Amino acid sequence: MTRSLAVAASAALLALPATASAAPSLAVTPQKRCYSSGETVNLLAGGFSPLATASVSRDGELLRSLRTDANGAFNGVLTLGLESGRETRTYTATDDLNSTLTASAQMTVSSVRVKLDPEEGTPGRLLKIKAHGFTTGDTLWAHVIHRKSRRHIKLGRLHGACGKLTTRRRLLKRSARFGVHTVQFDTFRRYKRDRPVADRYTITVEPA
């Protein structure tokens, strides 16, 4: 069995207009207790110098400067990335014309991971499935793809702020055909190959 872990490891910010506030502020939307690696969020800021720039940093490391609109606001689009574990991060916006104008927001980010046990064996074996980091929905699904064949298996409800699940399931049938089967884990009932928050395995069935 081989596996491939799908994570988005880059962070990008784009400037778009947003609603300004009277004093410097920075907020994350959507608001959640935990976010998945690969998830995209918005940093909404207001109260900065109009038609100027503000620098955005993460835990003291500069990401980039963004232009503010006529109301001193900006909307930064951020794609989160984390390869393993869980982190609480602090994002800070600082006015480039007046460094006393600053605001911060915290968020917890989790890697996205599914572990199968045992990882090797015959098709149809019962697997222990442990997952974490799936915060884009309430239910975890396994999509089993082999050529033109697709099976969608509901694994169960996710628990906790960072989307955990432990269960036992058979992902392949005992009569699974020879060849490569791709198993994608995500929080959607319908399969799409390019889900940004997902973990994937490839399982090769060979003649005994």
Condensed to tens digits (0 to 9), the pLDDT of residues 132-184 reads 999 999 999 999 999 889 999 999 999 999 999 999 999 999 988 999 999 99
Q: Which of 88, 110, 132 is the last residue of a domain?
A: 110
The reported pLDDT for the residue numbered 207 is 84
For residue 74, what are the domain limits? Answer: 2-110
How many C-beta atoms lie closer than 10 Å to residue 128's C-beta? 12
User: Are residue 31 and residue 71 in the same domain, yes or no?
Assistant: yes
User: Are residue 101 and residue 118 in the same domain, yes or no?
Assistant: no
Give CA–CA dist 78/41, Å, rounded: 5
Split into its structural domains, the chain has a count of 2
User: Are residue 133 and residue 99 in the same domain, yes or no?
Assistant: no
Q: Which of 110, 140, 156 is the last residue of a domain?
A: 110
User: Are residue 105 and residue 130 in the same domain, yes or no?
Assistant: no
User: Are residue 11 and residue 77 in the same domain, yes or no?
Assistant: yes
Largest interatomic CA distance in the chain: 70
User: Are residue 97 and residue 177 in the same domain, yes or no?
Assistant: no
User: Are residue 12 and residue 77 in the same domain, yes or no?
Assistant: yes
pLDDT at 10 over 80: no
The reported pLDDT for the residue numbered 20 is 40
pLDDT average, residue stretch 6-29: 56
CATH assignment at residue 199: 2.60.40.1930
User: Are residue 118 and residue 34 in the same domain, yes or no?
Assistant: no
Q: Give the Å distances, CA to CA, from 23 to 71, 97, 145.
A: 11, 15, 52
User: Are residue 70 and residue 131 in the same domain, yes or no?
Assistant: no
- Which token pair is 61? 């490391």
Q: Which of 89, 110, 131 is the last residue of a domain?
A: 110
